[in-house]
Structure 1
Amino acid sequence: MTTNMTWDALLNAQRLGDDDYIPRRSRSIFLQDHDRIVFSAPFRRLANKTQVQPLYAHDHVHHRLIHSIEVGSVGRSLAMRVSDWLEETGHVTGAQAQDLPDIVQAACVAHDIGNPPFGHSGEESMGAWFAEAFAKERGLCADLPKELRHQFTAFEGNAQGFRILTRLEMYRNDGGMRLSKAVLGAFTKYPVTAADRKALLGSKNYVGLKKFGIFNNELAIFSNVAEGLGLSQIGADSASAWARHPLVFLVEAADDITYNIVDLEDAFTTGELPFQTVRDLLADVIGAHVQQRADMTEEEQIAYLRARAIGAAIDACATAFQNNYADIMSGRFSDDLVGASRLSEVFAGIKRTARERIFTATRKTELEISGRRIIANVMSGILPVYEDLASSNWNTEHLSEHSTHLVRALKLDLRDVTDPESALHALADFTSGMTDRYALRMSRMLSGT
């Protein structure tokens, strides 16, 4: 059942874990949220995590940190367009209109903070390792209840990101980064656990159920956030999810715009796509004939067209938000803004080109295979530490000498590890937190090569 959400609740500035916090007059809480994220170690590690091109030596190819900053920039511009319209039409006050772009920018820079090394193939690699470990039905993995296993076998960087923001970083187990509920709501693309998503899929068709974004351990935390934001609930008592925060659609659109367009520029830079192909695709986004410039290099022309294409896409998505506003606020809108915009077919063509000619490039495929092996080596190499800890009744002082050496060498964090679920989360926390190069180094160390 859904009810209309209200901006008074949706822009809730209350800090998670710090109900008594009073914002400073000189700087809004949402700008502070942005700064807390940007200065955090998980955000900094994105500088050495794959965007599309793994372990690439070319200095101009994007990595996750640059991508996240660019998404924040696009998200802020898109949110400014939308907030101006919301104020003009009387949906928000002037003060709320000023806050809205800050909320979106903060959520945007955090959107990939939970991604493991080697991009989306890293998520698949971690999930495949967990699936194989559960299939053996031995030791620690056999002890985890079956209803909790899917959140590991379908490992999801979005859920890991929420875990980092609300539990692991800064105030551990006490609000995490203590971000505002508005930013946490705008961050959460998939407000549902893996188990509830699985139960709801047959009866509910909603974009927020495309994946899951909350681990079982963080369900109570998100419930608190959702209540503070007044998010509509979907489903029955036995299995439920929430409607997306309306600003999620802006964060998602900023990500879609950025990676689709910038992936083309990167593919041109690496030589995977020729100038004419990239030029024509960007011209389609712009929606106008683009004349080739003799006074500009090909690189300069692509950069110029990329900038214009991003601007055109922002305009299209702002219009799509306006056109679908009533359904967005009631929780009925079940599309993304790019898909609902006039550029839907154009972006579908870009994605098709990426699937056929960028994601299947030989070098990328080879490194994804290597990345899968690296992640498996790391997870298999440190699982015995958690097995040993379980055998020691979760007492770190009773670990074997070898396990103690591994904990010291890898700086494994065994705080809060008290049962199979928390042990496997700790294993996932360590693995997903690694950079591409650190994962390679740890794999070599653990395998003795």
Structure 2
Amino acid sequence: MANAAIAPYASDPAKSRGRLVAEPPSATRSDFRRDCDRIIHSAAFRRLAYKTQVFVFHEGDHFRTRLTHTLEVTQVARSIARALGLAEDLAEASALGHDLGHTPFGHAGERALDQCLALFGGFDHNAQTLRVVTSLERRYANFDGLNLTWETLEGLVKHNGPLTDSAGQPVERYREDELPRGIADYNRMHDLELWSFASVEAQAAAIADDIAYDAHDIDDGLRAGVFEISDLKNLPLIDDILRDIARDHPRLDPPRHAHELVRRVITRMIEDVIGESRRRLEALNPASVTDVRQAGKPVVGFSSNFAAADRAIKDFLYPRLYRHDRVMRIMTEAEAVVRRLFERFVDKPSDMPAEWLADLEPGDAIGRALRIADYIAGMTDRYAIGEHERLLGSTPELR
């Protein structure tokens, strides 16, 4: 089998807790490799190509989409996993699947669906990811979903840390509310141990997501012209890198300057995570992945200096990119598209494809609302725009 893990705390595919529906092993692939392949071949993964990261797809061919972002996260996750002696295929599976539940139009679509489902528990993209891989994908004769291993499902749900305490009470972002319906319902059937931390591989995928966001949103912001390289010069880490680039390449043209900046940001962040994670793992000295799950804190992360730099970059990007007037204007229109589609399908469910209505009980308002949300969440940007035109007779500019 490919990718034998080296470290004692790594996840061993030969010792996987298995799948909800038992399947015979593959003669040529580990269980974690099969998970990667199933995600890659899923319809939800293909649709990421036309789902917004920050800029709507038709604004330019060079901006990130959810798919290109996912591939970049996967590359970073594998780099970290390889250096730490982990199961690279499990880190890849966690990275490949982490955004499958995202709606069209990025977080704008998620906000709109969350409002539409306010009376039914709201919308959460992590819970939607779990629904995609355990229910909504219908490719196999013997089960719904992709029937991924317990370890991959754990990583998709818990990559940012435990969701409950040992008594089952929600913690962190869910402390003020109940757990998302999709996660709570599935966990009652297939216990993902929501009180524990995820594997080292899933933690590597989570920090890879942060690294990709920081570096590539800087790149997209520079390409879009919403800020300049000179605007970044007072940010920690960025300031040092810009000085190094000026020393090494004093007459570098602006496009190459931007690419050199992004490349060095990614490299230094990966190297910091590897060094800091090795220090944490050495201090913990875990003998197994169980010790990692029960450590009570993450074993993969930035050093204190790089954690501060990460926060500073995000604090810069929030007003200068994510809340920029140009982006907000488009995202406000995009939210309206999603809300109007939801309202239309509530009024006329028959406007949805018949298979989305086949097993709904008459008068089941909750079931209908959740089914509509599933349908809309799976749409690409361009499909949502097309449905808006077909059903409502208008096409938003989103420019």
User: Which residue of 1 is the match for residue 270 of structure 2?
Assistant: 314
Trace 1:99-118 onto structure 2 (pairs within 5 A): 100-118=87-105
> Is 1:414–2:357 an aligned residue pair?
yes
User: Which residue of 2 is the match for residue 52 of structure 1?
Assistant: 54
Q: Distance in 2 between matches of 1:336 and 1:208?
A: 22
How far has the Cα of 1:209 moved from its partner?
A: 6.3
> Is 1:23–2:26 an aligned residue pair?
yes
How far has the Cα of 1:436 moved from its partner?
A: 1.1
Deviations 1:10-46 (A, max 9, x none): 8743552442421223x32322221221121111111
Q: Which amino acid aligns with 2:107?
A: H
Q: Distance in 2 between matches of 1:265 and 1:70?
A: 13
CA contact (8 A) 2:134 2:147 kept: yes
How large is the Cα RMSD of the aligned pairs?
A: 3.2
Total equivalences in the alignment: 371
Q: Could you tell which deviates more after superposition, 206-215 or 172-181? A: 206-215
Q: Which amino acid aligns with 2:22?
A: D
Check 1:11–1:75 CA distance in 2 against 1; reply closer, same or farther (3 A cut). Answer: farther
User: Which residue of 1 is the match for residue 287 of structure 2?
Assistant: none
How far has the Cα of 1:335 moved from its partner?
A: 9.1
> Is 1:70–2:55 an aligned residue pair?
no
CA contact (8 A) 2:103 2:377 kept: yes
How far has the Cα of 1:421 moved from its partner?
A: 3.9
Q: Distance in 2 between matches of 1:65 and 1:49?
A: 8
Q: Which amino acid aligns with 1:184?
A: L
TM-score by length of 2: 0.82
Q: Distance in 2 between matches of 1:37 and 1:310?
A: 25
CA contact (8 A) 1:285 1:343 kept: no
The DSSP-based 3-state class of the residue aligned with 1:324 is: helix
User: Which residue of 2 is the match for residue 156 of structure 1?
Assistant: 124
Deviations 1:151-176 (A, max 9, x none): xx2x1111100111111212389251
Check 1:173–1:257 CA distance in 2 against 1; reply closer, same or farther (3 A cut). Answer: farther
User: Which residue of 2 is the match for residue 139 of structure 1?
Assistant: none
User: Which residue of 1 is the match for residue 3 of structure 2?
Assistant: none
Q: Distance in 2 between matches of 1:193 and 1:352?
A: 25
User: Which residue of 2 is the match for residue 121 of structure 1?
Assistant: 108
Counting aligned pairs with the same residue, the percent is 25
CA contact (8 A) 1:416 1:422 kept: no
CA contact (8 A) 2:155 2:199 kept: yes
User: Which residue of 1 is the match for residue 143 of structure 2?
Assistant: 174
Q: Distance in 1 between matches of 2:228 and 2:310?
A: 18
CA contact (8 A) 1:284 1:346 kept: no
Check 1:411–1:304 CA distance in 2 against 1; reply closer, same or farther (3 A cut). Answer: farther
Q: Distance in 1 between matches of 2:175 and 2:48?
A: 26
User: Which residue of 2 is the match for residue 250 of structure 1?
Assistant: 204
User: Which residue of 2 is the match for residue 424 of structure 1?
Assistant: 369
How far has the Cα of 1:294 moved from its partner?
A: 4.7
CA contact (8 A) 1:11 1:182 kept: no
Q: Could you tell which deviates more after superposition, 296-305 or 119-128? A: 296-305
How far has the Cα of 1:218 moved from its partner?
A: 1.9
Check 1:191–1:280 CA distance in 2 against 1; reply closer, same or farther (3 A cut). Answer: closer
Check 1:200–1:15 CA distance in 2 against 1; reply closer, same or farther (3 A cut). Answer: closer
The DSSP-based 3-state class of the residue aligned with 1:290 is: helix
Match of 2:41 among 39, 42, 59: 39
Q: Could you tell which deviates more after superposition, 173-182 or 46-55? A: 173-182
Check 1:210–1:180 CA distance in 2 against 1; reply closer, same or farther (3 A cut). Answer: farther
User: Which residue of 1 is the match for residue 226 of structure 2?
Assistant: 272
Q: Distance in 2 between matches of 1:372 and 1:173?
A: 37
Q: Which amino acid aligns with 2:203?
A: F
User: Which residue of 2 is the match for residue 218 of structure 1?
Assistant: 186
Q: Distance in 1 between matches of 2:207 and 2:322?
A: 21
Unaligned runs of 5+ in 2: 1-7, 285-290, 395-399
